[in-house]
């Protein structure tokens, strides 16, 4: 039996084009005499469709496209993720796999385990169905599971303990092969976890396990593809990461075991590139403008943007004020030379002085404070937005996760933009990414990497004057944000000073109102801002 | 039997103060020889606690406070909303009512129906428990239901159809009285719906039904209180709306039936006032700054802010550019006189010209467009933020729902602020609110009410040049946003031109990226932005 894995990149609700892609793969598969074609979860509409699912006409169009897809399925079996209307459940819909054989829908397998945590909210829309499905096709017993259905078996999930393990249930039905339709987004080092789980499940089922994952970025979520084929616990094939890819599994053929070597920082970089690329491409946008500070974050965003959009589509601005160092300006010029990207100099000091004069009666001789710092950042934000509005560029904002967590950013200043590229990348990870970017030759000047982080918004400012060093900051952030450790537990784990830890946690909650106004960011960690993490702004727990 | 309803205002996670309030009411109730004291849903932590529920130390502190509360419950029964740890469910927690009698916890009733739609995400945290609870106390059979548990019975909920009706189940247990612990947020005209449902349920159960609802605003949600006592289908008592209140129901006493007359616009106004008030009070903030345009929206925000915070805490700014009309400036001065609120004039034209000069090489003689309009709005935003930063004011933003829906606002301009007061108020509702504000005497000058809406960002600009009139806009918005009608259905319903409707719906989706960066708003409709409505920015369904 030949099973064709079609790892595709879908745009949410773009039914005609999504269906066209699907149909084109079915045609290709037919030429290759394939028996079954496997697509990913919610393929027709793309994952996640969110509240579009509340519109009847959205569901109707999905059904129309499904009907069209059926027509091309002569002499072939297609397993495809779609939404099934479910008139008798608590929710009106099921997240389903439709099984089409020879142009007819022969049945559905509804998803059993509906993730409703972190970035997932499937219980908002879908009803669970506990029934497991195995169908016979060309003398093979083919089982179907949808994404999360695989994940309870190895008990790796935290904060959720499903009552039912679909893997255990499907084993009772003696499948020869189990197909899994996934829309499993990337996060840092998730691949190891996946291989571990899939391998165990395939071993337990003692059969073939074929996972087809979605690829491509939809808003915050980056789906890394990386679909896989396992046989009795052994990885046999692994599809490309971060791009569309296809693979034909022949169950009658013997495959060597596959060992995967991967560099998590390379994956992280590629995830960010794909996040930027799809944000633009799927909106028919082309051009980006980036404000360069001479620091490592904006340098990194420039590298990512060039890779995603091409150098001809990038404009960078250098906007010095009286506090900008000569070094920073030189460094900005140097990286733009290295990347062959246009750089415009727009000094802001005159406008800055203008504001100071205008506001003098209100400031009333109060000393220089963050107000004046913010003014500079906001003037830069305004200039970026003016360039954006007049010439059709999208502003890419450059703040990293560490500073966004602590509110060490200016609302309406450096937070301006359509997409916040590094929102989910810790400062210590930005340095690792820089090393990766420079692996063959120096792209990011070493001066940028080696200088002490500074916003340069007042005389001799250094991040370290306001914050602990970023290694401490990032350890605390991971412990608190990803692992939900309490302040006490963090202090115990790292032997950090309790005043420092308390202050950092307090800052995280005080900055909640700022982060709510951040552009969406590309999610690359287990717990990101702007999707999957929900805290009240007004609260009395962390004081 | 005497049952005391304690309708209180809780701050999320402020355990010590929430428990103090609860204990103080129990003490008062004891003096009044009350048998049972009833509090609202999740009273100890406040509703909604969101992802704080993922922290073990949050749950531990809640448990500590519950233990303290138990100690004061000598010779009295207390029914109180809390979180129960649930080691055997899919989720680790239940949304529960704890029953304390004479200092001991005699049991829990876990919520059965867990709303996971609109602003609710209870399945993210909680496990459902199908078991219904009636306990005997002082020879009465007392049943307990939690909020949504009441709402399935009358089949008014859309997009959800629970498999089980707790009202039907509890009837089998023959209660004499049913207590309902609620955290039911306000929206426009919701009171009618509630009275209808509660009356039917109480009639069906043919017993007393006592609902204790939370009051107060937590972030976007305004809980209106308005707790009620029904007997065999008849409303007997209704507690205050939008403030803390208390009522002692004596089941042995006969009460007259109550007819409620209420003005939905008055309720809307009070909801907005409470939304502003609690946002400030619960964060220990006092002062607000508002940019006045001479239009009706900023005038309305000024009225609401004065009512919520007191005139001494409000500063307003008039920031004319070359396009501001003399009339607008006069109108701004007039409303500030009427309200006795400080107004500062800060003309922005000089800074505006400065930007134009600075950006001339980039703008490259391209014609005046929204870029220059946005520049003015952003200069105003920057000035508001500078006043905010230097003098500790919170900026209240003034955009209404109609313009926020269509993106007829400037990101980082008039969208600046900590709280977006009118984010969920349609333009046509703003006019109704103005009439309400002026019911006794003219507060908002009639010139402001009668003038044609204009942003005054270019010569002779009028909203009507860019948009249909607001009656059409608002009808389309309600149909699309609240009722999820398709474009076709809207055209059919109103016989509007299909180009107009198509264009409006397209604008709604194009503005999604802007709204993601809006400050949180006060939710007063069935479907608000910034909470309860989730759509992808990048999508191909509406083109």
| Between residues A158 and B188, the one the model is more confident about | B188
| Residues of chain A with C-beta less than 8 angstroms from the C-beta of B385 | 374, 378, 411-412
pLDDT grade for B343, boundaries at 50, 70 and 90? very high
Per-residue DSSP letter, A445: -
- In whole angstroms, what is the distance from residue B351 CA to residue B345 CA? 14
Average pLDDT, chain B: 97
| Tokens at B365, concatenated | 């003689």
Partnered with residue B246 across adjacent β-strands are B6
Q: Which of B70, B94, B147, B303 is catalytic?
A: B147
The answer to whether the CB atoms of A391 and B362 lie below 8 A apart is yes
- In whole angstroms, what is the distance from residue A455 CA to residue A378 CA? 13
- In whole angstroms, what is the distance from residue A198 CA to residue A184 CA? 13
| Tokens at A106, concatenated | 């022969």
Rounded to 5 degrees, what angle do the CA atoms A480, A483, A487 make? 35
Q: Among B344, B350, B338, which residue's Cα sits nearest to residue B292?
A: B344
Residue A54: predicted pLDDT: 96
| A391-405 burial code (b ≥16 CB/10 A, e <16) | eebbbbbbbbbbbbb
Percentage of chain A beyond pLDDT 90 is 95
H or E element: which one contains B177?
A: strand B177-182
**Distance of residue A474 Cα from the nearest chain B Cα, in angstroms:** 19
| Tokens at A315, concatenated | 């404009």
Phi, psi of B194 (to 5 degrees): -60, -50
Residue in A closest to B13 by C-alpha: A541
- In whole angstroms, what is the distance from residue B13 CA to residue B423 CA? 26
3-state secondary structure B232-289: CCEEEEECCECCCEEEEEECCCCCCCCCCCCCHHHHHHHHHHHHHHHHHHCCCCCCEE
Top-level CATH class of A269-458?
A: alpha beta
Average pLDDT, chain A: 97
Whether A294 shows a pLDDT value over 90: the answer reads yes
| Tokens at A286, concatenated | 């082309």
Whether A133 shows a pLDDT value over 90: the answer reads yes
What are the domain boundaries of chain B? 2-254, 269-452, 468-510
- In whole angstroms, what is the distance from residue B73 CA to residue A295 CA? 60
Q: Which of A111, A287, A306, A334 is catalytic?
A: A111
CB B468 within 8 Å of CB B332: no
pLDDT, tens digit (0-9, with 9 covering 90-100), for B401-459: 999 999 999 999 999 999 999 999 999 999 999 999 999 999 999 999 999 998 899 98
Half-sphere exposure of A96 (CA within 13 A, CB side): 23
Reply yes or no on whether B330 is catalytic: no
Please tell me which of the candidates B90, B92, B416 has its beta carbon nearest to residue A412. Answer: B416
The answer to whether the CB atoms of A385 and B379 lie below 8 A apart is no
A265, with CB counted inside 10 A (0-12, 13-18, 19+), is middle
The answer to whether the CB atoms of A219 and B517 lie below 8 A apart is no
| Tokens at A105, concatenated | 């829908």
| Residues of chain B with C-beta less than 8 angstroms from the C-beta of A319 | none
Q: Which of A45, A147, A336, A416 is catalytic?
A: A147
Enter the pTM of the model: 0.97
Residues 6 or more apart in contact with residue A312 via CB below 8 angstroms: none
pLDDT, tens digit (0-9, with 9 covering 90-100), for A176-226: 999 999 999 999 999 999 999 999 999 999 999 999 999 999 999 999 999
Per CATH, the number for B2-254 is: 3.60.110.10
| Residues of chain A with C-beta less than 8 angstroms from the C-beta of B124 | 116-117, 121, 123
Reply yes or no on whether A41 is catalytic: yes
Please tell me which of the candidates B54, B518, B534 has its beta carbon nearest to residue A51. Answer: B534
- In whole angstroms, what is the distance from residue B148 CA to residue A414 CA? 43
Q: Is the preceding omega at residue B48 within 30 degrees of 0, hence cis?
A: yes
Whether B89 shows a pLDDT value over 90: the answer reads no
H or E element: which one contains B504?
A: helix B498-510
CB B260 within 8 Å of CB B191: yes
**Distance of residue A380 Cα from the nearest chain B Cα, in angstroms:** 11
CA-to-CA dists, residue A335 to A339, A399, A470, angstroms: 6, 18, 24
The answer to whether the CB atoms of B538 and A278 lie below 8 A apart is yes
The answer to whether the CB atoms of B538 and A283 lie below 8 A apart is yes
CB B78 within 8 Å of CB B100: yes
The answer to whether the CB atoms of B371 and A389 lie below 8 A apart is yes
Percentage of chain A beyond pLDDT 70 is 100
Collapse the DSSP code of B14 into the 3-class scheme (helix H, G, I; strand E, B; otherwise coil) and give the result: coil
Domain B269-452 has CATH 3.30.559.10: no
Q: Which of A21, A25, A41, A152 is catalytic?
A: A41
Residue in A closest to B377 by C-alpha: A382
Residue in A closest to B354 by C-alpha: A351
Residue A290: predicted pLDDT: 98
Q: Among A238, A192, A281, A267, which residue's Cα sits nearest to residue A9?
A: A281
Q: Which of A274, A397, A412, A520 to mutate to test binding with chain B, by most B CBs within 10 Å of its CB?
A: A412
pLDDT grade for B88, boundaries at 50, 70 and 90? confident
Residue-level length of chain B: 543
CB A357 within 8 Å of CB A384: no
Please tell me which of the candidates A90, A355, A538 has its beta carbon nearest to residue B162. Answer: A90
| A20-30 burial code (b ≥16 CB/10 A, e <16) | ebbbebbeebb
The answer to whether the CB atoms of A516 and B513 lie below 8 A apart is no
pLDDT, tens digit (0-9, with 9 covering 90-100), for A480-539: 999 999 999 999 999 999 999 999 999 999 999 999 999 999 999 999 998 999 999 999
| Tokens at A458, concatenated | 């007042």
Please tell me which of the candidates A159, A381, A530 has its beta carbon nearest to residue B412. Answer: A381
| A356-373 burial code (b ≥16 CB/10 A, e <16) | eebbeebbeeeeeeebbb
Please tell me which of the candidates B90, B370, B390 has its beta carbon nearest to residue A371. Answer: B390
pLDDT, tens digit (0-9, with 9 covering 90-100), for B385-402: 999 999 999 999 999 999
Q: Which of B25, B41, B403, B512 is catalytic?
A: B41
Collapse the DSSP code of A209 into the 3-class scheme (helix H, G, I; strand E, B; otherwise coil) and give the result: strand
**Arithmetic mean of pLDDT, A133-148:** 97
Q: Is the preceding omega at residue B167 within 30 degrees of 0, hence cis?
A: no
pLDDT, tens digit (0-9, with 9 covering 90-100), for A266-284: 999 999 999 999 999 999 9
| Residues of chain B with C-beta less than 8 angstroms from the C-beta of A124 | 116-117, 121, 123
| Residues of chain B with C-beta less than 8 angstroms from the C-beta of A89 | 161, 163
Domain A2-249 has CATH 3.90.1150.10: no
Please tell me which of the candidates A57, A366, A535 has its beta carbon nearest to residue B50. Answer: A535
| Residues of chain A with C-beta less than 8 angstroms from the C-beta of B535 | 50-52
H or E element: which one contains A99?
A: strand A93-101
Residue A156: predicted pLDDT: 87
pLDDT, tens digit (0-9, with 9 covering 90-100), for B93-124: 999 999 999 999 999 999 999 999 999 999 99
- Residue written as token pair 């030429």: A31
Residue B37: predicted pLDDT: 98
**How many CB pairs below 8 Å do chains A and B form together?**
255
pLDDT grade for B158, boundaries at 50, 70 and 90? confident
Same fold, A2-249 and A269-458: no
Reply yes or no on whether A77 is catalytic: no
pLDDT grade for A89, boundaries at 50, 70 and 90? confident
Residue A413: predicted pLDDT: 97
Distance in angstroms between the alpha carbons of the first and the last residue of chain B: 62
Residue B159: predicted pLDDT: 78
| Residues of chain B with C-beta less than 8 angstroms from the C-beta of A12 | 536, 538-541
pLDDT grade for A307, boundaries at 50, 70 and 90? very high
Count CB atoms within 10 A of the CB of residue B435: 11
The answer to whether the CB atoms of B385 and A363 lie below 8 A apart is no
Residue B335: predicted pLDDT: 97
- In whole angstroms, what is the distance from residue B104 CA to residue B75 CA? 10
pLDDT, tens digit (0-9, with 9 covering 90-100), for B301-327: 999 999 999 999 999 999 999 999 888
């Amino acid at each position: 039996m030949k099973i064709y894995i079609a790892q595709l990149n879908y745009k949410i609700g773009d039914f005609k084009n999504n269906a066209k892609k699907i149909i084109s793969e079915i045609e290709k598969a037919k030429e290759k005499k394939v028996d079954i074609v496997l697509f990913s979860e919610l393929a027709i509409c793309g994952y996640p469709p969110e509240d579009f699912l509340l519109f009847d006409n959205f569901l109707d169009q999905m059904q129309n496209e499904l009907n069209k897809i059926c027509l091309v399925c002569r002499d072939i079996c297609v397993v495809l993720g779609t939404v099934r209307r479910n008139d008798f459940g608590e929710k009106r819909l099921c997240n389903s796999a439709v099984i089409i054989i020879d142009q007819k829908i022969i049945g559905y397998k509804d998803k059993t385990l509906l993730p409703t945590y972190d970035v997932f909210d499937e219980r908002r829309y879908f009803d669970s169905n506990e029934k497991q499905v195995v169908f016979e096709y060309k003398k093979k017993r083919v089982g179907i599971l949808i994404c999360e259905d695989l994940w309870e078996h190895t008990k790796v999930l935290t904060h959720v303990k499903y009552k039912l393990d679909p893997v255990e249930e499907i084993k009772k039905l003696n499948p020869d092969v189990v197909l899994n339709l996934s829309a499993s987004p990337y996060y840092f080092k998730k691949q190891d976890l996946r291989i571990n789980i899939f391998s165990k499940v395939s071993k337990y089922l003692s059969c073939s396990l074929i996972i087809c994952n979605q690829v491509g970025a939809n808003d915050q979520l980056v789906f890394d593809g990386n679909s896989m084929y396992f046989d009795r616990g052994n990885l046999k094939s692994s599809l490309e990461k971060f791009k569309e890819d296809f693979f034909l599994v022949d169950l009658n053929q013997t495959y060597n075991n596959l060992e995967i070597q991967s560099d998590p920082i390379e994956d992280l970089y590629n995830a960010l590139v794909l996040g930027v690329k799809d944000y633009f491409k799927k909106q028919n946008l082309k051009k980006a403008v980036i404000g360069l500070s001479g620091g490592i974050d904006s340098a990194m965003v420039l590298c990512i943007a060039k890779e995603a959009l091409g150098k001809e589509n990038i404009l960078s601005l250098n906007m010095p004020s009286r506090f900008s160092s000569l070094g920073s300006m030189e460094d900005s010029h140097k990286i733009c030379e290295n990347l062959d990207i246009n750089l415009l100099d727009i000094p802001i000091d005159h406008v800055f002085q203008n504001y100071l004069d205008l506001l003098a009666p209100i400031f009333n001789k109060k000393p220089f404070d963050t107000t004046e710092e913010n003014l500079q950042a906001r003037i830069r934000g305004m200039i970026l937005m003016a360039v954006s509005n007049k010439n059709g560029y999208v502003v890419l904002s450059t703040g990293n996760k560490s500073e966004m967590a602590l509110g060490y950013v200016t609302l309406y200043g450096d937070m301006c933009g359509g997409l916040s590229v590094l929102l989910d990348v810790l400062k210590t990870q930005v340095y690792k990414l820089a090393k990766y970017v420079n692996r063959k030759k120096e792209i990011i000047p070493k001066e940028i990497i080696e200088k002490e982080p500074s916003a340069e918004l007042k005389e001799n400012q250094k991040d370290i004057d306001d914050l602990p060093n970023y290694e401490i900051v990032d350890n605390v952030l991971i412990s608190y944000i990803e692992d939900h450790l309490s302040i006490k537990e963090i202090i115990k784990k790292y032997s950090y000073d309790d005043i420092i830890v308390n202050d950092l946690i307090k800052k995280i909650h005080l900055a909640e109102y700022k982060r709510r106004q951040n552009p969406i960011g590309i999610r690359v960690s287990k717990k990101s801002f702007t999707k999957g993490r929900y805290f009240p702004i007004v609260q009395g727990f962390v004081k």
